[in-house]
Structures are given as C-alpha cells and as structure tokens.
A and B are shown apart, each in its own frame.
Chain A
Amino acid sequence: MFIKRRNFLQIGSLATTTLLLPKFLKAFEQPSWVSPGNKVLVVLQLSGGNDGLNTVIPIRNDIYYKLRPKLGITKDKALSLTDETGLNPALSAFKGLYDEGNLSILNNVGYPNPDRSHFRSMDIWQSASNSNEYLNTGWLGRYLDAQCKGCDKPTQALEIDDILSMALKGEQAKAIAMKDPKRLFNTANEKFFKDIIAGHKDEAGEQPVDYLYKTMAETLSSADYIFQQSKLKPSKIIYPSTELGKSFQTISSLIQSNINTKVYYVSLGSFDTHVAQEFQQKRLFTDMNNAIEAFVKDLKEANRFNDVLLTTFSEFGRRVAQNASGGTDHGTANNMFFIGGGLKQKGVLNAMPDLSNLNEGDIKHSVDFKDVYATILKNWLGADDKKILNKSSTYLSFV
C-alpha cells in the first residue's frame, strides 16, 4: 500500500510536464523501490535434473549405498547435518548456512504422474500445471499479471539470461531477460529504435502493432533503468568470475539499488549426469556454492539478507540406482533448498526419501511443488496464490 501511494504521488506531481509522453515511459522518471523490509525472491533453476540424493545424502541408509556402490557419497566425505543427513562435500557454504539457521531443505518434492522428458517436466514446473495439462504462462508470469494490473514499471521480475523462460511469461505481463545490464540491447540501432518509438502514433492501443511498440519501448526504457540502477551500489564483495557469480553480483547490486524488482530468476546447468556424474556435479556445485557464498555475504553486509528468499529447484531428480556409466538416469521427486535470513522453519523440514518404498526405482513425492509455490506467493510475496495457481493449496511453514 505504502509503495503504491508513494508512486502515485511521485508520478502525479510530474504529470503536468509529461503529458505528451506515453504512460509507460513516464513511469521511469522517478524510482519506486523495494525498500528495506520488502521481500525479494530469487529462483535458481538447476537445469537438466539435479541428482538430489547426492545433494542431500541419506548417510545412514543401506539401500542408498547398495544401489549406488560407486556413486554413493560416504558418511565421512559428506558434510554432516543431522544423524542421518549429510550435504554434498562441494556445498560447504550451504553447511555454514545450515549451521547458522539460514537454510532449509524440503525433501520429496514432485507431482503426480511425473514426466521424464526434460522439456516437458520443466514446462510443468515452470507453468505449475498438472502433468496432463498444457499452459502457456508461467507461475511467476501470472504473479506479474496479478500484481501488475496498471503496474507502472515492467521491471518487477528479471531473468539473468539472454532468453526469457516460460516461468516468467504471463498472459499480460512478462519479465525482462538480460544477461548484463551494460550491454543490454546496446546495439548500433538503438537510436533508430528510440526514434521510431517517439514517432509512433499509438491509436487504439489494441492493435498488435501497438503491443509491439509498447514491448519495445518498455524494453529500451527498462534497459536504461536497470543499467542506471545496477551502477548505484557497486558491490565490494569479490564474486567468483563465473557466469553464475556475475549473475548473482548483478542481482545483489540491483537488490541494493532503488529498483522495484521483486523476483530474480537465474539458471545453472547442465545437471543431466548420465555419465561421469561425480565430476560434473562437483564442478557445478562448486560454482553454485561459491556464487551463493559471496551473494549471502554481500546481502548481509548491506543488511538485506532478511529480505531475500533464495530457492533452488530442478525439473526432476534422478533414479535411485546408479547406471553403468558412472551416472544416473532421469527420476522423479527431488529436494529443494531455501536460503535467507527470514526463514520461519529451519533445517531439514521433512523426512528423507523412503528408499524402501519406491515406485519402479523412483522416489515417491510427498510434497507437491505447487504447494511450495503457493507458500512463497502467499507468505513471502503477499500475493493471491489461489488466483495465480488456479487452485487451493496446502501451505508449508518455511516462510
């Protein structure tokens, strides 16, 4: 409420001088920030199907070691969390977060009738559909639709990527995708684009051509705006010089700026470890661990860690048994991490997978991922989850 009112006043006072500018350009003249205390969501997508069992390890489970004679991570190598749970050795920062109460783990997250195609299962996770249902919008895109009726800036959600994921596409509103604010559409033709926008006469506003001009104007304005904002608070923390490290650095500097972004989305992959899993997962986890370690340190120093919820997910977990190539094949239910200074329920949130009760070699899900979304939407983002997910959910209590 407070933010909205403030916006209104800022724009209202300027309105007289800017009557000739289209509404969507006007909005960029004054900032409306997500001020301290307001909550931000960061989603890290682990693409390719991360092996959850070698992420959060059941260190006292004989079935695990029996089915994974080569790939199983032994108790002495795992970073111990509880008597029966350990973390992948590459996730030392996660262990630190766990110890200080800023990490929780949710096991056995999935959905009924799981699909083993990467693309389809990712579609299901991103759109929050049932497995026999096809949606063209994502859960965060529909969050934008619901929140952004008459929203003055299209920068409410940002994906750090060249291509926008379906998760962030709504019916009306769509997030902005950009890898590097500095070179966002910084093409030789930028002046041309800006000039034809200025010359375009938006007649009814309903024609496809008006929609295209509006998208283009919003993109260019957002690009400028994001770039300006990203320069405001340059981070003093050293991030790993990987792509993911840079992405988290960008996210952190934007969180600390005056930008109005509520949702950030970034991906890491490929976790599709059919062969030589140990090496591949270690490489990716090291990257993830170091980037998140720097990110958390940065946010803590800026006093914003309590306002941020970082969550990870993957389109599916992997089969319990190892395969013959030192890897694992596509499975079903998986675990999710939640990281932040504002967690209400910490540590390992529910029982580890029951490996004695598998469905044709796969872990049975006990938590529907849509309930996780509903919890985040309602309890963290303060949104109407029923409208966004088109169903009633069972809320969890991690936030």
Chain B
Amino acid sequence: MGESNQLKNQHLLWRAGFGPMAEDFLQVITATSSSYIAALFKASSKIPDSIDVADNSIKGLVMGIEEVGMQQKQQLSSEKRKKIREQSRDDIKSLNLAWLHQMINSPQQLREKVALFWHGHFASRNLNILYQQQLLDIIRKHALGNFGELLTEVSKSAAMINFLNNNQNKKNHPNENFAREVMELFTLGRGNYSENDIKEAARAFTGWGATVGGQFVFRKQQHDAGYKTVLGKSGNLQGEDVLQILLEQKQTAVFIVRKVYKFFVNEQVDDEKVSRLAERFFQSNYDIAALFKDIFNSDWFYDSKNIGSKIKSPVELIVGIQRAIPMQLENPEAQLLLQRLLGQLLFYPPNVAGWPGGKNWIDSSSLMLRMRIPNLIYSNDDFNIKPKDDDDQMMGMQEKKNIAKNKQGLKLIAAKIDWELYLKKYDGVPREKLLQTIAGKILQTKAGVQEETMNRFLDASSRESFIKTATIQLMSTPEYQLC
C-alpha cells in the first residue's frame, strides 16, 4: 500500500529530525521524497559551531591550575570547590537548554538527531561542564562523519576517561572499566569478546589520561608497553591499536547498525536489513552519512509498519511540540523539569548503557504527564508534580529553588504561542475538513481520528479557537506519543 507523500515526508522529518515545523506544513505535501532527503543532508553538511556556555570563572580557574600545576588543585578551599561545583551544575543546565534550542531551531535537523543518538550511545555522566561540552562538541562534529574517528575522539575525551576510570588505569594496576565498556557498549556488544580480551585491552589503554582542563595526555611511564593479544591480534599494542582491532571486526558494524535501526527505523529489528546495511557500512569504512543515506533512500523505510510505530523519547516529544507550534518559553528551565519527570534528562543518562528507549519510556505516570503537556502549554494549567531527588546532582545540598513552585507559581511553562503564524497554515481549508487536515499534520498514525469524540471537546465558537483546541487535544492523545 503506498503511503501519501505527506505522510512519508513527515515520517522522514520525524525520524531524521524532530518533526515538521509549522513552516514546513505546505512543503511536505508537495515535495518529492528524494528531493527532501537531498535537502536534509545538504542542510546538515556544514560542521556546526561549538556550543560554549561554560562560565569564565571556571575556564579561568582551570587555566590557572594548568599553569601552576596540579598542586594548586589540592589547595582550593572547600568553599571555592563548592562554588565551582555549583557553577558547573548550572552551566550544564545551560548546555542542555542551548542544545535543545538547536534541536528546535537549527536547519541541521539530521545532524542534531544523529548527535542525540550518539549522546545516548556514548553515554557519560559527568558533573564537569568543560568535559561535557567537549564531548558534545565531538559528537556533533562527527555525528555524520566517520565512526572510527568518532570512537577515537570520544575514547580520548576527558569526559569518558574520567567517567570510565581510565585515569586510574595504570601499568601493573589496570582498571578494566573502559576496556569492558568500549567492547560491550560502544563497538561489539556482549558475547563477542572474552574476559581475557578485556584484561589485555585494559593493559593497552594504560597511560591514557586527561588533564584538569580536558586535554588528552599519554602518560608513558604509566603505560604497559608489553606484549598483548586482543581478539587474536598480538603485539605491543597501544590503545589506538585496540580501537583499530575493534573496528576491523565486522561485528562492530552489525552492532552499531542494529542500534541505529532500532532508534531510526523500528524497535522490531529486521535482521536481514540490518545485515545488508552493516555490510555496506563496513565496506564504506564506517561512513555514517552513507549509512543514513542508505536507510532514508530505501523503500522499506517508508513501509507502513515503520511509520508512526516508534514511541517518541521525552526529548523528541518536547522538541517536536515546539517545532509544530512556534512559541517562546518565559521559563525555559521548565523543559529541564519535564525531562527529569519523563525520564530523559540530557547529560544525565541512567548509566553508561544510555537510555533504554521504546516501551521503557512509558509507565502510568509518565504517559499521563506526556498527555498533559500540551494543555500545560496552552492554558498554563496548574502543575503539581515533583521530580525525585537526584543526589548526584544535589551533592547533599537542597535544590536552590524548586522550579515547580517558583515565582511564576503554577504557570510552569509560561509559553507565548505565535498562533498567527500557525493559524495561517490552515487558510483555505474548508471548515468540514479542518480536523482531518490538522490531524494529518500532527499525527503519524493512520487509524484516523475519532471525529465525533474529538468534536465534543473542541471549542467551535470560532475557526481560530477550533484550530487551536483541535491541535492541543490531538497532541494530548496516545497517538501523538508515536512518530
């Protein structure tokens, strides 16, 4: 069964980005699929500017320490350390919001979406703003580049070196954490290496460290230069050699493609398609952009079973709403609270395995909150839900302010919606076709809206109110949780 051009184009925009913008509403109907795909890649071809939100006080301090040497770090008063931690925590919030802003507004939709995938793949919990923004920078720059380069840069990043304890990985005292995770979670997946491979690889990574400021250093005196064997390859292996050995395993391509398929195509994996894509990914020497071209240009990507079948992640949901309805948030920090409540706070993955995704996003409370968000935005409904404490973030302190109960009181999100721009997109649509037309833009599911039921809950006093309430109520359905 052929799907309509509009549905296919919207499918592409949801999977290769964060959904259609109000501005796209007319174009998605007319454009051909192939021209749309080409435009998407073109828009994401430029290397983006780094996001830099770190406060100068932190940068200045780090530079000072680097110059004077490590001793200085020990001498920082506990008061000063506390201030740095708080500043860093605040800066990570800014980093979160700045990246969300890119997801909502950047024409580089594909790049930001793939970066979000890598953000979960190379998950790192780290309270240091400099390390976090450096890792994000690596991920965004290489999002569509070469997987080998991406893997190498991530492995050498201060965020990963600290998170996975490679700073403590020394000759005669190996710490196997990084060696284990790089195989289990970043490249091969469980069951494709032995415990001995991990032991040997850990030796190869000894001496890999990072400075306070986040620079990679190779500490030669801590490196075990001896003979090692990893996955059947032997020699006086170094860390880089091990990464190369991992990339030479076709299983790495299969593992990555399988995860990409689950994230971008369907939670239900089609093994035959994965193996074909993986073969080409491997032959291309891990060209990520080529992999995505393969996927989005395939007819099967637009099969009806792949459309509207994926549960949006909280970030996809929050960003998608703001793309569909143009708005300004007076309290953008509310987006952080929503991320926490819905279980996906950027830069705080649950563990090194990242967010599990799929049905894991959904439980009774998260689903009901998801379906309340559109009304929270529309009518500034009251809001009285508290996130769980995050002791890693709070470090024993009370949260500075409870953002659910700040001075805006119950108007948590305080959105100013640009309805004029949105309403214009429906000019010329006859009244009796309005609901179907809006549903066609808002929902990716094909079951059709329950017109009669919907109409009982819509404000039909004017055309404008009808469009507004229809949009909001359609976004408050289980169907809208899917893309």
Seen from chain A, the residues whose Cβ lies within 8 Å of a Cβ on chain B are 47-49, 117-120, 123, 132, 134, 136, 154, 161-166, 169, 174-178, 183, 185, 187-189, 191-193, 195-196, 198-201, 207-209, 211-213, 215-216, 218-219, 222, 267, 269-270, 272-275, 324-325, 327
Complexed CA–CA distance, A213 and B385 (Å): 22
B39 within 8 A of A: no
Determine the residue in chain B with the shortest Cβ distance to A219: B364
CB contacts (< 8 Å) of B366 on chain A: these are 163-164
Contact, CB under 8 Å: B352 / A215:
no
A120 → B minimal CB distance (Å): 6
B49 within 8 A of A: no
Determine the residue in chain B with the shortest Cβ distance to A220: B368
CB contacts (< 8 Å) of A175 on chain B: these are 363
CB contacts (< 8 Å) of A212 on chain B: these are 311, 362, 367, 478-479, 481-482
B457 within 8 A of A: yes
Contact, CB under 8 Å: B391 / A48:
yes
Contact, CB under 8 Å: A270 / B389:
yes
CB contacts (< 8 Å) of B479 on chain A: these are 209, 212
Contact, CB under 8 Å: A174 / B363:
yes
B48 → A minimal CB distance (Å): 30
B137 → A minimal CB distance (Å): 24
CB contacts (< 8 Å) of B453 on chain A: these are 195-196, 198-199
Complexed CA–CA distance, A199 and B1 (Å): 26
Taking A123-B350, A270-B391 as contacts, is the C-beta distance between A211 and B341 under 8 angstroms?
Answer: no
Contact, CB under 8 Å: B473 / A192:
yes
Contact, CB under 8 Å: A272 / B396:
yes
CB contacts (< 8 Å) of A213 on chain B: these are 478
Contact, CB under 8 Å: A215 / B392:
no
Complexed CA–CA distance, A317 and B366 (Å): 31
Max chain A Cβ within 10 angstroms of own Cβ: one of B267, B356, B371, B384: B371
B309 within 8 A of A: yes
Contact, CB under 8 Å: B473 / A275:
no
Complexed CA–CA distance, A176 and B367 (Å): 11
Max chain A Cβ within 10 angstroms of own Cβ: one of B350, B381, B482: B350
Q: Identify 7 new A-B residue pairs, CB closer than 8 A, beyond the known A117-B392, A123-B351, A212-B362.
A: A119-B351, A154-B364, A176-B365, A187-B375, A215-B363, A325-B78, A327-B396
Determine the residue in chain B with the shortest Cβ distance to A177: B365
Contact, CB under 8 Å: B180 / A132:
yes
Taking A272-B394, A275-B396 as contacts, is the C-beta distance between A187 and B482 under 8 angstroms?
Answer: no
Determine the residue in chain A with the shortest Cβ distance to B404: A162
CB contacts (< 8 Å) of A274 on chain B: these are 395-396
Contact of B457 among A119, A162, A185, A192 (CB under 8 A): A192
A150 → B minimal CB distance (Å): 19
Number of interface residues of B (CB under 8 A): 55
Contact, CB under 8 Å: A119 / B392:
yes
Taking A48-B389, A212-B367 as contacts, is the C-beta distance between A162 and B341 under 8 angstroms?
Answer: yes
Taking A117-B125, A207-B309 as contacts, is the C-beta distance between A215 and B396 under 8 angstroms?
Answer: no
13 contacts between A and B (CB under 8 A): A47-B391, A49-B391, A119-B348, A123-B350, A154-B364, A163-B343, A188-B375, A192-B473, A196-B478, A212-B482, A219-B364, A270-B396, A275-B396
Complexed CA–CA distance, A47 and B391 (Å): 8
Determine the residue in chain B with the shortest Cβ distance to A213: B478
Interface members, chain B 34-89 (any A CB < 8 Å): 78
Contact, CB under 8 Å: A209 / B478:
yes
Taking A134-B353, A208-B482 as contacts, is the C-beta distance between A269 and B389 under 8 angstroms?
Answer: yes
Contact of B311 among A47, A49, A208 (CB under 8 A): A208
Taking A118-B392, A270-B391, A270-B394 as contacts, is the C-beta distance between A219 and B482 under 8 angstroms?
Answer: no
Contact, CB under 8 Å: A119 / B476:
no
CB contacts (< 8 Å) of B341 on chain A: these are 162-163
Complexed CA–CA distance, A325 and B375 (Å): 46
Contact, CB under 8 Å: B450 / A196:
yes
Contact, CB under 8 Å: A136 / B368:
no
A250 → B minimal CB distance (Å): 16
CB contacts (< 8 Å) of A178 on chain B: these are 364-365
Q: Which 6 A-B pairs have the closest CB atoms?
A: A212-B478, A118-B391, A274-B396, A219-B364, A134-B353, A199-B450
